[in-house]
Amino acid sequence: DQQVKQNSPSLSVQEGRISILNCDYTNSMFDYFLWYKKYPAEGPTFLISISSIKDKNEDGRFTVFLNKSAKHLSLHIVPSQPGDSAVYFCAASGSYNTDKLIFGTGTRLQVFP
């Protein structure tokens, strides 16, 4: 049972435009959400996170939005740059020490000039 879903396996965006990556989850006990970025042959790198008490968190060009009622979060990248081309993983967790970080299957973002 896949508790975190990224339904778009890939996304192609022109440089300078907005990239919107989506993520849906099913477990209402999740209260911490993260986005990771992964380049080929490297490990995932933390990008931005949000806790369930917020609906938005911003860090430079990256903004994460959380809609708890819809069990949906999204990552906005504005403006998109070619260096943003990577696979983006959404992840979610509860807040207990035995809770696991559950990852989505990733969305490959390609930013073209």
Partner 1 sequence: DTAVSQTPKYLVTQMGNDKSIKCEQNLGHDTMYWYKQDSKKFLKIMFSYNNKELIINETVPNRFSPKSPDKAHLNLHINSLELGDSAVYFCASSPQVAGMGTQYFGPGTRLTVL
Give me the residues that bind partner 1 (CB under 8 A), please: 32, 34, 36, 41-46, 49, 51, 87, 89, 93-101, 103, 105-106
Shortest distance in whole angstroms from residue 21 CB to partner 1 = 15
**Dist CA 42 CA 59 (whole Å):** 23
Query: What amino acid is encoded at 91 in this protein?
Result: A
13 contacts 109 by C-beta, under 8 angstroms: yes
Nearer Cβ to partner 1 (79/94): 94
33 contacts 66 by C-beta, under 8 angstroms: yes
Nearer Cβ to partner 1 (14/46): 46
End-to-end CA gap in the chain: 38
Nearer Cβ to partner 1 (68/79): 68
Which of 18, 22, 110 minimizes the C-alpha distance to 71? 22
Shortest distance in whole angstroms from residue 15 CB to partner 1 = 26
Shortest distance in whole angstroms from residue 89 CB to partner 1 = 7
Nearer Cβ to partner 1 (11/15): 11
